[in-house]
Amino acid sequence: MVRQQRKFKPRARTSRELDFESVGKQEEGKIQPPSEDGAFWKIHPPLSTRLYEKSALGRRHADGSISLTASEVLFCHWHRHVPLPNVEWLESELMKNPRLVYEAIIMDVGRNGGEMIVPTIHRPDDEQLAWGVRWHRDRNHLKEAYQSSVAIATTHDHLDWRNLLDWCRKANKLGVDAELFVIDDELDVTMYRIDLIEPTGNLSPWEDLSTKQKQLFVSNWESKTPTESGSYVRQTTPWDWEQIGIEHMSGRILRKEEDTYIQHMIVKESEPTSDSLLMHDLLGRGLLLRPGFKYGCRWRVYDGDLNDSHAPWLIQPKDEAAVTWEGVCLSVRLAEGVHKQWVCAISDDLGWNYLRIQRWLPGKNSSSE
């Protein structure tokens, strides 16, 4: 029996054309092409006034003219009927900036629906956090501060997690969101929001146990029987630390990482590793850790008893996280497909930081708008 084929309509993909018939100056043309202005392209009033005040395009000068980047020129060509300077203009600009195609498409997609994205090169007085800044569609860029710092990347770009953490911190300090636009080899753009979270749960960590409970736990653990991937502890007395081990076979079965953690952080038989220190921070927050191998990460993390709720987070230590955006995008997509949040754990002098990366769309699932 042959299965009936599913019928669905593929998602329409945007393709922009260049209007070569309008290229160059035209005697009767109401809109003239921009003129070269060093590394930028200049447009004069009255068109410049409308482009700047209504759409936040370019940097305005004292004479009312504006300077545009090449990506803004393409945006104006597609959406404001501005002619290109000459037929070879795109090839010439690509020689100067090989990433122009990506920047122009991100500008096009990011400004969809009235959002206003402005390259930070136009804003020398602001702290240069990333490639651009964004105003929401219902804000006034002439009177209000921008809402977001915008970074851009291709799926193949190398990812520096510490730089990402630093960017997110600075954005938070300024009270703006950190947004990332990633473009793939099909020239399709996916948008992400990056923020720092403080995951917490309601389980009792080691520090909350009484002295008697701690002594009993250590005594039970020291009588463990090794297994191939951890240990088994027969449960003859109450097991008061629910964050450690799985109840099974009239006892408790511990993973190898849990035994190592106890050796490092509880009985202190040896110096702790980064993994043990991270586990200690997460357990100290009242969280429950379970293996995340089915989800391509180190742990799935619960904020309570796993029988009462699903794990809100998938946490991956920085040293095991992807090193390109292609890998991170895959991890985030997998996490959201099972209704979880993907989080990268990064340590520094201030302790452990939990960087959450989520897909988002302007105006639809923005927490700040």
The predicted-structure confidence for 67-111, as pLDDT tens digits, reads as follows: 999 999 999 999 999 999 999 999 999 999 999 999 999 999 999
Share above pLDDT 90 across residues of the chain, in percent, rounded to a whole number: 81
Q: Which single residue is written with the structure tokens 């010439």?
A: 92
Question: What band does 364 get if pLDDT is binned at 50, 70 and 90?
Answer: low
In a domain, 106, yes or no: no
Q: Residue 44: how many CB atoms within 10 A of its CB?
A: 15
In a domain, 212, yes or no: yes
Query: Is the confidence at residue 132, as pLDDT, over 50?
Result: yes
Q: To the nearest whole number, what is the mean pLDDT of the chain?
A: 92
In a domain, 118, yes or no: no
Inter-residue contact 236 to 242 (CB < 8 Å): no
Partners of 154 in the β-ladder = 183
In a domain, 56, yes or no: no
**Residue 362 confidence (pLDDT):** 74
**Residue 6 confidence (pLDDT):** 62
For 72, phi then psi, to 5°, come to: -70, -35
Query: Is the confidence at residue 24, as pLDDT, over 80?
Result: no
**Residue 8 confidence (pLDDT):** 65
Mean pLDDT of 202-208: 95
Q: Which of 29-38, 89-98, 270-279, 339-348 has the lowest mean pLDDT?
A: 29-38
Domain that holds residue 222: 207-270
Query: Is the confidence at residue 12, as pLDDT, over 80?
Result: no
**Residue 236 confidence (pLDDT):** 79
In a domain, 221, yes or no: yes
In a domain, 229, yes or no: yes
pTM: 0.91
**Residue 295 confidence (pLDDT):** 94
Query: Is the confidence at residue 369, as pLDDT, over 50?
Result: no
Query: Is the confidence at residue 277, as pLDDT, over 80?
Result: yes
Say how many domains are in the chain. Answer: 1
Q: Where are the alpha helices (DSSP H) in the chain?
A: 47-55, 70-79, 89-96, 100-110, 161-174, 211-222, 256-261, 274-284, 325-337
Running DSSP on this structure, what letter comes out for residue 22?
Answer: G
In a domain, 292, yes or no: no
User: What is the per-residue pLDDT across 229-239, written as a single tens digit (0 to 9) for each?
Assistant: 999 999 878 88
Mean pLDDT of 271-292: 96
Between the alpha carbon of residue 226 and those of residues 165, 188, 271, the distances in Å are 40, 51, 21
* Angstrom distance (rounded) from CA 217 to CA 210: 11
**Residue 368 confidence (pLDDT):** 41
For 265, phi then psi, to 5°, come to: -105, -20
In a domain, 219, yes or no: yes
